Amino acid sequence: MQTRTLGSTGPTVSAVGLGAMGMSGAYGQADRGESIATVRAALDAGVTLVDTGDFYGMGHNELLLSEALRGRDRDSYLLSVKFGQQVGPGMKFAGQDSRPDSVRNFLNYSLTRLGVDHVDIYRPARLDRSVPVEDTIGAIKDMIDAGYVRYVGLSEVDAETVRRAHAVHPIADLQIEYSLLSRAVEAEVLPTLRELGIGLTAYGVLGRGLLSGNWVPGRADDPRNHAPRFAAENGAHNLALAEALRRVADAKGCTVAQLAIAWVAAQDPSIVPLVGARTRQRLAEALPALAVTLSAADLDEIEAAVPKGAARGDRYPAAFMASLGVGN
C-alpha cells in the first residue's frame, strides 16, 4: 500500500482511505456483516485511514467500526471522526454544535462507542457560526494535551476559517468534497492548504455514484433523490459526463471509477481520496486506482472530457448548501 502524509504536521496514512458513512444507511440499507467484512478487508489490504462521524446512523457507524476493528492493533489504523452535526427524529438536520463543552461531551461518547482510548483526527463536521472557530479548535487542543486526540482536522470550511483555525493549532487536514464534478476547492481553499502545509482528505470522489456507475435513477428509497445534482435532467447530464470519461479510462486500461480516484490523487501529494465502499466488491474495484498513473496528456484528456464546472446541480439541497464553506 502506498502512503501519503497529510500536510507538514499530519500523520502518514494509506494513499486511499475508507469512508464508512454508507455502511449506516446513508445510501439505503447496508448489510451489517458485509460492512464489517469490508472494513476488515480494507485493513488487510493496507488501508490505515478510516473515516466516520458520530452522527452517521446516530452512533450506529461508530458501534459498527468498534466491532470491525476489535482485535486489531490500535497503532495499525487511524480513526478520523467528525462531530457536532445535530440531527433530530426523522433525520432532520438541525445545525452544528461546536461549543467547547460539547466538544468534550461528543468526544467521550465517540471514544465509548468506538471502544478506543483516543481518536487520531477529530474535526467539527461543519462550521458552527455561533461559536468562534478558535474556541472549538482550542477545545480539541485541550483534548490533545490530555491524550484523547492526536490531530485536529476541519471539514467543509472556507479558506479564511482554515487560516483562523490553523493559527490556534496546526491543522492536519481539511475534509471536503473534491471530484471531477466538484471543484470549488481549487479557487481558494486548495492554494491555502498548500501554503499552510495542510493535507486534504477528499470525499465524494466518485460523485456519490455518478462517476462509478453505481447510481441508478428512479430508486424510491435513495436519499440522493433530494440532491439537485441527481434531479432528472441534471442526473442525465452528469451521467453523460461519466460516459465521456470512458474513452480515457479504456485507453488507460482502467474503469471510470478508478480513473476518477486517480485524478483526485494526482492533484496534490497531500490529497488522500476517501472511498465510500460498503462491500468488498466495491473496495476491490476501487483499490487498483492507486496503480493508475496519469501523464500531463492524460490529465488534458480528462479535462476535455469533464471540464471544470461541467456538472449540473448543487451537490446538496439548498438549505444544506448554506452550511458549506465552498460551493460546488
Q: Is the pTM of this model over 0.85?
A: yes
Query: Mean pLDDT score of the chain, rounded to an integer?
Result: 92
Distance set, CA 80 to CA 13, 151, 227, 237 (Å): 11, 9, 25, 34
Greater confidence (28 vs 231) lies with 231
Question: What average pLDDT does range 191-210 have in this prediction?
Answer: 94
Report the C-alpha gap between 96 and 119 in whole angstroms: 20
198 part of a folded domain: yes
Active site residue 109: no
CATH number of the domain that residue 50 is part of: 3.20.20.100
- What distance, in Å, lies between the first and last C-alpha atoms of the chain? 31
Backbone angles phi, psi at 220, to 5 degrees: -65, -35
State the average pLDDT over residues 253-268: 96
Residue 118 lies in a domain: yes
Nearest to 193 by CA among 180, 176, 179: 176
pLDDT at 112 over 90: yes
Top-ranked range on mean pLDDT: pick from 126-135, 214-223, 228-237: 126-135
- Domain extent, residue 47, equals 3-209+264-291
Taking Cα atoms as reference points, which of 121, 166, 150, 173 lies closest to residue 7?
Answer: 173
Is residue 250 in a domain? no
Domains identified in the chain, total number: 1
Summarised one tens digit per residue, pLDDT across range 78-95 is: 999 999 998 888 777 778
Identify residue 301 by its one-letter amino acid code: E
Domain presence at residue 181: yes
Res 212: pLDDT: 81
Whether the per-residue pLDDT at 239 is higher than 80: the answer is: yes
CA distance 187 to 173: 17
Q: In sequence order, what DSSP letters do the residues of 80-105 get, joined into one string?
A: EEEE-EEEETTTEEEEE---HHHHHH
Look at residue 42 and tell me if it is in a domain.
yes
Given pLDDT bands bounded at 50, 70 and 90, which one contains residue 218?
low
Catalytic residue among 27, 56, 77, 151: 56
Is the per-residue pLDDT at 199 higher than 70?
A: yes
Residue 234: what residue type?
N
Share of the chain above pLDDT 90, in %: 74
231 located within any domain: no
Looking at the domain assignment, is residue 224 inside a domain? no
Report the alpha-carbon distance of residue 245 to residue 78 in Å, rounded.
33
Which comes out higher in pLDDT, residue 93 or 158? 158
Q: Model confidence at 220, in pLDDT bands (50, 70, 90)? A: low
In a domain, 32, yes or no: yes
